Amino acid sequence: MRAITDTHFRFPGQDAYYKGKVREVYSIGDKLVMIASDRISAFDVILPEPIPYKGQVLNQIAAKFLKATEDICPNWLISTPDPNVAIGKKCEALRVEMVIRGYLAGHAWRTYQSGLRTLCGVTLPEGLKENDKLPEPIITPSTKAEEGHDEDISREEIIARGLVDEATYSKMEAYTKALFQRGSEMAAERGLILVDTKYEFGMYHGELTLIDEIHTPDSSRYFYAEGYAENQAAGKAQKHLSKEFVREWLIANNFMGKEGQQVPEMTEEIVLSISNRYIELYEMVTGEGFQKRSYENVLQQIEANIIAAL
């Protein structure tokens, strides 16, 4: 099986290169070239086998949603000249991640379950159950602490610390609510519920701009709408759409990224099943059939497509 594990290009005018867990970013003048590899991470660990078509799935979902929301706010995307590539404006990233939640799930539920009723300065009502719909969507921002971990932070702290000025933050809030509303409407058309997601913003020549990927199963949590009410009434777990299935497979094989634990063997059968699941995610979220890219001379394809676009 073929997949994109690494790229080591040198483009004309390239002035920086960054390799993340799954994406590689080339800086060229005032543009960024972002390549979505087929690497996969879980529990902050890059797994030993890449997943064919995973990078294409995430790149194309993100591009679809960025294009579908460009009437709401400016975003960084200029073009997608290759199934695994996005070229966009080089923005100065703001150090605040805008997390918005329409339902009490994940981190918000764990906080609530611990007895706390305030999250990032937002007070939650009594009597909620896991996965209940909130009276209205709440914004629970996070920021990078000095040691590099995400930390919850309130609107007041963000402004007091000078991470973002009040006028800019108010605009970020307005954009976040409007983007979540659009994402929720698009999810509903596909029989899905957008549970929670995150948005990142940067400044481009003084203009607040949406950056990174949006509404992908790696950055968002989706429930299936069918059966949601019945499951809530019966206290059952919700059927979800995200990359949680990868974590569940790892946990079932005694791996959670802890010291001394070994990543279970990723057989060809396991890799293929994960690849197929990502393709299913794409088709469910977008409502479109997935067109598999060719992996024949794939690095040459990518390089040629980027150079032609630049």
Q: Give the CATH number of the domain where residue 67 resides.
A: 3.30.200.20
Residues 69 and 169 in one domain: no
Residue found under tokens 């995307």: 77
Q: What is the CATH number of the domain that holds 167?
A: 3.30.470.20
Residue 97 belongs to some domain of the structure: yes
Residue 18 belongs to some domain of the structure: yes
Phi/psi region, residue 5 (left: phi>0; alpha: psi -120 to 50; beta: rest), is: alpha
| Domain-ending residue, one of 207, 223, 241 | 241
What does residue 170 show for φ and ψ, rounded to 5 degrees? -60, -40
The pLDDT value given to residue 149: 60
Question: What is the distance between the alpha carbons of residues 123 and 137, in angstroms, rounded to a whole number?
Answer: 12
Total number of domains constituting the chain: 2
Burial status of residue 286 (CB atoms within 10 A of its CB: 0-12, 13-18, 19 or more): middle
Question: What is the distance between the alpha carbons of residues 290 and 132, in angstroms, rounded to a whole number?
Answer: 33
Residues 228 and 155 in one domain: yes
Question: What is the distance between the alpha carbons of residues 112 and 140, in angstroms, rounded to a whole number?
Answer: 13
Residue 254 belongs to some domain of the structure: no
Domain that holds residue 208: 92-241
Residues 202 and 107 in one domain: yes
Residues 103 and 231 in one domain: yes
The pLDDT value given to residue 130: 95
Q: Are 98 and 176 in contact (CB under 8 A)?
A: yes
Residues 219 and 144 in one domain: yes
Residues 76 and 177 in one domain: no
Residues 40 and 119 in one domain: no
| Domain-ending residue, one of 226, 241, 256 | 241
The list of the chain residues with pLDDT below 50 reads: none
DSSP 79-145: EEEETTEEEEE--EEEEEEEEEEEES-HHHHHHHHTT--EETTEEPPSS--TTPEEEEEEE--EEE-
pLDDT tens column, 24-47: 999 999 999 999 999 999 888 999
Residue 259 belongs to some domain of the structure: no
Residues 150 and 232 in one domain: yes
- Buried/exposed 70-96: b ≥16 CB within 10 Å, e otherwise: eeebebbbeebbbbbbbbbbbbeebeb
The pLDDT value given to residue 244: 80
How far are the Cα atoms of 48, 67, 221, 277 from residue 190, in angstroms, in the given order?
A: 33, 18, 14, 17
Residues 146 and 30 in one domain: no
Residues 119 and 133 in one domain: yes
